[in-house]
Amino acid sequence: MAGQKRRFGFETRMLHAGHIPDTVTGARAVPIYQTTSYVFEDTDKAAQLFELKQYGNIYTRINNPTVAAFEERIASLENATGAVATASGMAAQLNVMMTLLDPGDEIVTSSHLYGGTTTQFVHTFRKLGLKAHFVDPTHLDNWAAAITPRTRLLYGETIGNPRGSVLDIEPLAQLAHAHNIPLVVDSTFATPYLCRPMDWGADVVVHSATKFIGGHGSSIAGVLLDSGKFDYSRFPTIADPDPAYHDLRFYETFGHYGFLMKARAVTLRDTGGALSPFNAFLLIQGLETLSVRMDRHVQNAQAVAEFLHGHPKVAWVAYAGLADNPYHALAQKYTPKGPGAVFTFGIKAGNPRLAGKEFIESLHLFSHLANVGDARSLVIHPASTTHQQLSDSELEQAGIDGGMIRLSIGLETTEDLLWDLEQALQATSA
């Protein structure tokens, strides 16, 4: 009705949020602003931009119109107040930590994590004077017991990589807020289409946009998003005077944008993990088909998981879409359209690691590479690749054994994927 502000649907915002057609040229697609810098209107305007008294473009390491269109679009899809795009998912994650933490601070994190995240939290954190406490995420008591007076945030993955565990976000957010700290969630495997953690109380969400958001294995990228609901007024790194900006108080000055402004104007500026305009353009193309692709991804994943689950040569399948999976109920709550398209399984064999090697090398359609979320189906052996840098105890903590095979299910014809898996299983040793 006239006079009412319409809340557009997810698919509409996938195509339109964050951009209107170019008024000068009429270009309908988001232009690629392939520039390092921008001409200032005058010296006063330049000074105001650098003092954060006026918003505008300064340098593409900090912001860029193409990147801004991507940030606004994904913020709309994630129900966030805003976003900051970065050069990779790891850069987004590190940006969040360096914005929220000071030397001596601690975090409590799920142990069901991507191997690179675990390494960052253990080894890079040590260099920065930070400490991570890893817990089995399946019991809330584990989280509560690990919180100390120095804990500044809780961290987990919506769908754990590669174990496939589903994070119980709602009570975890309540626990975090009871301690006046934010909950940060990596929602890479779910995407905003399958799960929006902020709807369940999460405060900050990060994505490796390299994966399903880009969707075609063509661009490395990351993004961090803020709900705008967490009260940073007593959070030291956001509320206290910042010497990097003449003692500017980010929360006092920018309110619910305080965290994002510091993440951009301080952390991104000083660490340099900026997203290129061309990659931002490719990510926008990915967002425009996100829901269509994800529906197909989860449809294929469910079919493949059910096929493997009933196969006589398969020992186990860890996919929360299966009714006997321990995370099935949580998946129905948080990811009712389907728990993503990445999962693991193991082969029945005297030597599971050897059987896994034979299986991978017998596949035709599945590409053997270190990525997930591609339109094409992918396969890898986590213990010797993505999680290879972890110690034996860290592998056990993450729930990874030597026979685990990780699949990322793509958009191919379902029957062709089942044929490829069948012939590869038949080629493995008993």
Residue 390: the pLDDT is 56
Q: What is the mean pLDDT of residues 268-279?
A: 97
Task: Report the distance separating Cα 158 and Cα 169, nearest Å.
Answer: 8
| Choice among 67-81, 121-135, 386-400, 416-430 with the minimum mean pLDDT | 386-400
pLDDT in tens, 79-117: 999 999 999 999 999 999 999 999 999 999 999 999 899
Q: What is the mean pLDDT of residues 189-193?
A: 98
Neighbours of 351 (CB within 10 A): 13
Mean pLDDT of the chain: 93
Q: What is the mean pLDDT of residues 139-155?
A: 98
- Residue 2 banded pLDDT, cuts 50, 70, 90: low
- Residue 52 banded pLDDT, cuts 50, 70, 90: confident
Closest to 366 in 3D by CA, of 404, 403, 407: 407
Q: What is the dihedral of CA 349, 354, 360, 364, to 10 degrees?
A: -80
Residue 215, Cα to own-chain centre: how many angstroms?
13
Q: What is the mean pLDDT of residues 272-296?
A: 98
Residue 386: the pLDDT is 56
Which CATH number is 10-287 given? 3.40.640.10
Residue 36: the pLDDT is 96
Q: What is the mean pLDDT of residues 367-373?
A: 93
Burial 15-35 (b: 16+ CB within 10 A, else e): eebbbeeeeeeeeeebebbee
Comparison of pLDDT for 371 and 400, the residue scoring more: 371
Encoded tokens for 172: 């975890």
Task: Report the distance separating Cα 210 and Cα 219, nearest Å.
Answer: 6
Residue 1: the pLDDT is 47
Q: What is the mean pLDDT of residues 243-260?
A: 94
Task: Report the distance separating Cα 70 and Cα 77, nearest Å.
Answer: 11
Any idea where the domains of the chain sit in the sequence? Answer: 10-287, 290-426
Q: What is the mean pLDDT of residues 197-217?
A: 98
- Residue 404 banded pLDDT, cuts 50, 70, 90: confident
Instruction: Assess whether pLDDT exceeds 60 at residue 134.
Output: yes
Neighbours of 249 (CB within 10 A): 15
Asked if residues 126 and 139 have their Cβ atoms less than 8 Å apart, the reply is no
**CA distances, 214 to each of 22, 210, 254, 369 (Å):** 23, 6, 31, 17
Task: Report the distance separating Cα 192 and Cα 213, nearest Å.
Answer: 9
Neighbours of 229 (CB within 10 A): 14
pLDDT in tens, 3-22: 578 999 999 999 999 998 88
Backbone angles phi and psi of 215, in degrees to 5: 85, -5
Asked if residues 88 and 276 have their Cβ atoms less than 8 Å apart, the reply is no
Q: Is 73 helix (H, G, I), strand (E, B) or coil?
A: helix
Burial status of residue 379 (CB atoms within 10 A of its CB: 0-12, 13-18, 19 or more): buried
Task: Report the distance separating Cα 347 and Cα 139, nearest Å.
Answer: 29
Residue 341: the pLDDT is 98
Q: What is the mean pLDDT of residues 191-211?
A: 98
Nearby residues of 70 by Cβ (< 8 Å), 6 or more positions away: 18, 30, 85, 223, 275, 280, 283, 284, 287
Nearby residues of 127 by Cβ (< 8 Å), 6 or more positions away: none
Architecture of the domain made up of 290-426: Alpha-Beta Complex (3.90)
Instruction: Assess whether pLDDT exceeds 80 at residue 401.
Output: no
Asked if residues 222 and 206 have their Cβ atoms less than 8 Å apart, the reply is yes
Q: Is 241 helix (H, G, I), strand (E, B) or coil?
A: coil
User: What is the 8-class DSSP label of residue 322?
Assistant: S
- Residue spans of beta strands (DSSP E) within 8-101: 82-86
Residue 389: the pLDDT is 61
Instruction: Assess whether pLDDT exceeds 60 at residue 230.
Output: yes
Residue 362: the pLDDT is 95
